[in-house]
Protein backbone atom coordinates (compact mmCIF):
# COMPACT_ATOMS: atom_id res chain seq x y z
CA UNK A 1 0.00 0.00 0.00
CA UNK A 2 1.17 3.51 -0.82
CA UNK A 3 0.67 6.59 1.34
CA UNK A 4 0.93 9.95 -0.44
CA UNK A 5 1.04 13.28 1.40
CA UNK A 6 0.46 16.71 -0.12
CA UNK A 7 1.35 19.60 2.20
CA UNK A 8 -0.19 22.72 0.69
CA UNK A 9 -0.31 26.35 1.72
CA UNK A 10 -3.59 25.99 3.62
CA UNK A 11 -4.24 22.30 4.17
CA UNK A 12 -2.63 18.87 4.13
CA UNK A 13 -4.12 16.06 2.07
CA UNK A 14 -3.28 12.38 2.27
CA UNK A 15 -4.24 9.42 0.11
CA UNK A 16 -3.93 5.66 0.41
CA UNK A 17 -3.44 3.79 -2.87
CA UNK A 18 -3.30 0.14 -3.81
CA UNK A 19 -2.54 -0.93 -7.39
CA UNK A 20 -3.12 2.62 -8.62
CA UNK A 21 -6.54 2.96 -7.01
CA UNK A 22 -7.30 5.60 -4.39
CA UNK A 23 -8.80 3.77 -1.41
CA UNK A 24 -9.11 6.60 1.10
CA UNK A 25 -8.24 10.28 1.39
CA UNK A 26 -8.10 12.71 4.30
CA UNK A 27 -7.78 16.49 4.65
CA UNK A 28 -6.17 18.20 7.66
CA UNK A 29 -6.04 21.85 8.66
CA UNK A 30 -2.73 20.96 10.32
CA UNK A 31 -0.76 17.72 10.13
CA UNK A 32 1.22 16.46 13.09
CA UNK A 33 3.28 13.40 13.90
CA UNK A 34 0.35 11.99 15.87
CA UNK A 35 -1.82 12.14 12.73
CA UNK A 36 0.85 10.27 10.80
CA UNK A 37 1.17 7.59 13.47
CA UNK A 38 -2.59 7.06 13.42
CA UNK A 39 -2.47 6.55 9.64
CA UNK A 40 0.21 3.89 10.01
CA UNK A 41 -1.54 2.21 12.92
CA UNK A 42 -4.84 2.01 11.06
CA UNK A 43 -3.12 0.90 7.83
CA UNK A 44 -0.26 -1.47 8.73
CA UNK A 45 0.09 -2.49 5.06
CA UNK A 46 1.74 0.85 4.19
CA UNK A 47 5.17 0.18 2.71
CA UNK A 48 5.89 3.05 0.33
CA UNK A 49 5.37 6.74 0.99
CA UNK A 50 5.90 10.02 -0.86
CA UNK A 51 5.62 13.57 0.43
CA UNK A 52 5.25 16.81 -1.50
CA UNK A 53 5.37 20.14 0.31
CA UNK A 54 5.23 23.78 -0.74
CA UNK A 55 6.56 24.92 2.63
CA UNK A 56 8.69 23.74 5.54
CA UNK A 57 7.21 20.95 7.61
CA UNK A 58 8.26 19.28 10.89
CA UNK A 59 11.46 17.26 10.56
CA UNK A 60 9.95 14.58 12.82
CA UNK A 61 7.48 13.71 10.05
CA UNK A 62 10.30 13.11 7.58
CA UNK A 63 12.21 11.05 10.15
CA UNK A 64 9.18 8.90 10.91
CA UNK A 65 8.45 8.26 7.23
CA UNK A 66 12.10 7.39 6.57
CA UNK A 67 12.22 5.00 9.52
CA UNK A 68 8.90 3.26 8.89
CA UNK A 69 8.56 3.06 5.12
CA UNK A 70 10.39 3.29 1.84
CA UNK A 71 10.16 7.08 1.67
CA UNK A 72 10.48 9.48 -1.27
CA UNK A 73 10.52 13.24 -0.71
CA UNK A 74 9.53 14.80 -4.02
CA UNK A 75 12.17 17.26 -5.24
CA UNK A 76 13.65 18.55 -8.48
CA UNK A 77 15.98 15.53 -8.40
CA UNK A 78 13.19 12.93 -8.30
CA UNK A 79 12.56 10.94 -11.47
CA UNK A 80 9.12 11.72 -12.92
CA UNK A 81 7.26 10.41 -16.01
CA UNK A 82 7.29 13.78 -17.82
CA UNK A 83 10.13 15.90 -19.15
CA UNK A 84 10.62 19.14 -17.19
CA UNK A 85 11.55 22.05 -19.47
CA UNK A 86 11.09 24.69 -16.75
CA UNK A 87 14.13 26.97 -16.69
CA UNK A 88 14.36 27.16 -12.87
CA UNK A 89 13.42 23.62 -11.72
CA UNK A 90 14.74 24.20 -8.19
CA UNK A 91 12.15 26.94 -7.64
CA UNK A 92 9.31 24.98 -9.23
CA UNK A 93 6.61 24.00 -6.73
CA UNK A 94 6.53 20.22 -6.48
CA UNK A 95 2.74 20.25 -6.32
CA UNK A 96 2.83 21.60 -9.88
CA UNK A 97 4.99 18.66 -10.95
CA UNK A 98 2.62 16.23 -9.23
CA UNK A 99 -0.46 17.75 -10.83
CA UNK A 100 0.86 17.43 -14.39
CA UNK A 101 1.99 13.85 -13.71
CA UNK A 102 -1.52 13.08 -12.49
CA UNK A 103 -3.03 14.72 -15.56
CA UNK A 104 -0.74 12.77 -17.89
CA UNK A 105 -1.68 9.47 -16.26
CA UNK A 106 -5.34 10.16 -17.04
CA UNK A 107 -4.98 11.80 -20.46
CA UNK A 108 -2.06 10.41 -22.46
CA UNK A 109 -2.94 12.05 -25.77
CA UNK A 110 -2.80 15.70 -26.76
CA UNK A 111 -1.76 18.78 -24.81
CA UNK A 112 -3.13 19.41 -21.32
CA UNK A 113 -3.69 22.61 -19.38
CA UNK A 114 -4.10 21.90 -15.67
CA UNK A 115 -5.69 24.57 -13.46
CA UNK A 116 -5.18 24.00 -9.74
CA UNK A 117 -7.48 26.50 -8.01
CA UNK A 118 -6.52 26.53 -4.35
CA UNK A 119 -4.79 29.15 -2.21
CA UNK A 120 -3.17 30.21 -5.47
CA UNK A 121 -4.33 29.46 -9.00
CA UNK A 122 -1.65 27.65 -10.96
CA UNK A 123 -1.87 27.08 -14.69
CA UNK A 124 0.43 24.31 -15.95
CA UNK A 125 0.93 23.20 -19.54
CA UNK A 126 1.95 19.73 -20.68
CA UNK A 127 2.41 19.43 -24.45
CA UNK A 128 1.68 16.39 -26.61
CA UNK A 129 5.32 15.30 -26.37
CA UNK A 130 5.00 14.79 -22.60
CA UNK A 131 7.02 17.94 -21.89
CA UNK A 132 6.11 20.27 -19.05
CA UNK A 133 6.57 23.81 -20.36
CA UNK A 134 5.54 25.88 -17.32
CA UNK A 135 2.56 28.14 -16.83
CA UNK A 136 1.50 30.94 -14.52
CA UNK A 137 0.48 31.70 -10.94
CA UNK A 138 -2.14 34.13 -9.66
CA UNK A 139 -4.01 34.68 -6.37
CA UNK A 140 -6.74 32.22 -5.46
CA UNK A 141 -10.31 33.10 -4.53
CA UNK A 142 -9.88 33.61 -0.77
CA UNK A 143 -6.57 35.39 -1.24
CA UNK A 144 -8.25 37.96 -3.47
CA UNK A 145 -10.88 38.69 -0.84
CA UNK A 146 -8.26 38.95 1.90
CA UNK A 147 -6.06 41.24 -0.19
CA UNK A 148 -8.88 43.76 -0.72
CA UNK A 149 -9.54 43.84 3.01
CA UNK A 150 -5.89 43.90 4.13
CA UNK A 151 -4.60 46.56 1.75
CA UNK A 152 -7.47 49.04 2.02
CA UNK A 153 -8.79 51.12 4.88
CA UNK A 154 -12.49 50.48 4.58
CA UNK A 155 -13.34 47.37 2.55
CA UNK A 156 -14.80 44.54 4.64
CA UNK A 157 -13.61 40.95 4.61
CA UNK A 158 -16.42 38.87 3.15
CA UNK A 159 -16.74 35.21 2.24
CA UNK A 160 -17.07 33.84 -1.30
CA UNK A 161 -20.58 33.10 -2.53
CA UNK A 162 -20.74 30.30 -5.07
CA UNK A 163 -24.23 31.41 -6.16
CA UNK A 164 -23.30 35.03 -6.88
CA UNK A 165 -23.49 35.86 -10.59
CA UNK A 166 -24.01 39.64 -10.80
CA UNK A 167 -21.72 41.72 -12.98
CA UNK A 168 -22.85 45.06 -11.54
CA UNK A 169 -22.70 45.20 -7.76
CA UNK A 170 -25.35 47.43 -6.19
CA UNK A 171 -23.73 47.44 -2.74
CA UNK A 172 -20.10 47.47 -1.58
CA UNK A 173 -20.35 43.78 -0.70
CA UNK A 174 -21.76 42.95 -4.14
CA UNK A 175 -19.15 45.14 -5.84
CA UNK A 176 -16.38 43.19 -4.08
CA UNK A 177 -17.93 39.88 -5.02
CA UNK A 178 -18.34 40.95 -8.62
CA UNK A 179 -14.76 42.16 -8.84
CA UNK A 180 -13.30 39.08 -7.19
CA UNK A 181 -15.45 36.29 -8.56
CA UNK A 182 -16.32 37.64 -12.00
CA UNK A 183 -12.74 38.86 -12.37
CA UNK A 184 -11.37 35.42 -11.53
CA UNK A 185 -13.75 33.69 -13.95
CA UNK A 186 -12.86 36.07 -16.78
CA UNK A 187 -9.16 35.59 -16.06
CA UNK A 188 -9.47 31.81 -16.27
CA UNK A 189 -11.66 31.90 -19.38
CA UNK A 190 -9.22 34.30 -21.05
CA UNK A 191 -6.17 32.17 -20.26
CA UNK A 192 -7.90 29.00 -21.44
CA UNK A 193 -8.86 30.78 -24.66
CA UNK A 194 -5.27 31.88 -25.27
CA UNK A 195 -4.00 28.33 -24.85
CA UNK A 196 -6.76 26.88 -27.03
CA UNK A 197 -5.74 29.21 -29.85
CA UNK A 198 -2.17 27.88 -29.69
CA UNK A 199 -2.81 24.20 -28.93
CA UNK A 200 -5.63 22.75 -31.01
CA UNK A 201 -5.45 19.39 -29.23
CA UNK A 202 -5.79 20.96 -25.77
CA UNK A 203 -7.69 19.34 -22.90
CA UNK A 204 -8.40 21.44 -19.79
CA UNK A 205 -8.51 19.89 -16.32
CA UNK A 206 -9.34 21.73 -13.11
CA UNK A 207 -8.66 20.65 -9.54
CA UNK A 208 -8.33 22.30 -6.13
CA UNK A 209 -10.68 23.82 -3.57
CA UNK A 210 -12.53 26.07 -6.04
CA UNK A 211 -13.06 23.25 -8.54
CA UNK A 212 -16.80 22.76 -8.01
CA UNK A 213 -17.52 26.49 -8.30
CA UNK A 214 -15.47 26.74 -11.50
CA UNK A 215 -17.12 23.71 -13.05
CA UNK A 216 -20.58 25.26 -12.67
CA UNK A 217 -19.55 28.85 -13.42
CA UNK A 218 -17.14 28.73 -16.36
CA UNK A 219 -18.61 28.94 -19.85
CA UNK A 220 -15.81 26.83 -21.32
CA UNK A 221 -15.91 23.04 -21.29
CA UNK A 222 -13.46 21.63 -18.75
CA UNK A 223 -13.08 18.44 -16.74
CA UNK A 224 -12.79 18.24 -12.96
CA UNK A 225 -10.40 15.87 -11.17
CA UNK A 226 -10.56 16.43 -7.39
CA UNK A 227 -7.60 14.20 -6.45
CA UNK A 228 -5.18 15.12 -9.20
CA UNK A 229 -2.20 15.99 -6.96
CA UNK A 230 -2.63 12.80 -4.93
CA UNK A 231 -2.93 10.76 -8.13
CA UNK A 232 0.21 12.37 -9.53
CA UNK A 233 2.16 11.64 -6.37
CA UNK A 234 1.17 8.00 -6.55
CA UNK A 235 2.20 7.87 -10.22
CA UNK A 236 5.63 9.26 -9.30
CA UNK A 237 5.95 6.80 -6.40
CA UNK A 238 4.92 3.70 -8.38
CA UNK A 239 8.34 2.94 -9.98
CA UNK A 240 9.92 2.90 -6.52
CA UNK A 241 7.64 0.07 -5.38
CA UNK A 242 9.85 -2.56 -7.01
CA UNK A 243 13.08 -1.10 -5.64
CA UNK A 244 12.49 -1.76 -1.97
CA UNK A 245 10.17 -3.43 0.48
CA UNK A 246 9.76 -2.45 4.07
CA UNK A 247 8.94 -4.85 6.87
CA UNK A 248 6.00 -3.38 8.81
CA UNK A 249 7.36 -4.37 12.22
CA UNK A 250 8.28 -2.18 15.21
CA UNK A 251 6.46 0.88 13.97
CA UNK A 252 4.98 2.11 17.20
127 is an active site residue: no
Please tell me the pTM assigned to this model: 0.92
Please classify residue 46 by burial: count the beta carbons closer than 10 Å to its beta carbon, then call 0-12 exposed, 13-18 middle and 19+ buried: buried
Contacts of 195 (CB under 8 A, 6+ apart): 113, 125, 202, 204
Domains of the chain from N-terminus onward: 2-77+233-242 (3.30.420.40), 83-228 (3.30.420.40)
| Residue in 6, 35, 95, 127 annotated catalytic | 95
Please list the pLDDT of the chain residue by residue as tens digits (252 residues).
999 999 998 899 999 999 999 999 999 999 999 999 999 999 999 999 999 999 999 999 999 999 999 999 999 999 999 999 999 999 999 999 999 999 999 988 899 999 999 999 999 999 999 999 999 999 999 999 999 999 999 999 999 999 999 999 999 999 999 999 999 999 999 999 999 999 999 999 999 999 999 999 998 989 999 999 999 999 999 998 776 555 554 554
Amino acid sequence: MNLVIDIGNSRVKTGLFRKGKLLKNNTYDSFKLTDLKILFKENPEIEHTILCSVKKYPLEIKRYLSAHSHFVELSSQTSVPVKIAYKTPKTLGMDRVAVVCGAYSLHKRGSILVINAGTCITYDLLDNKRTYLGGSISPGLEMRYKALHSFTGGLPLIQPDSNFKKLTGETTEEAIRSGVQQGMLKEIEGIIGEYQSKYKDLSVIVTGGSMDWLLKSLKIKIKGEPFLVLTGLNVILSPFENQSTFAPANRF
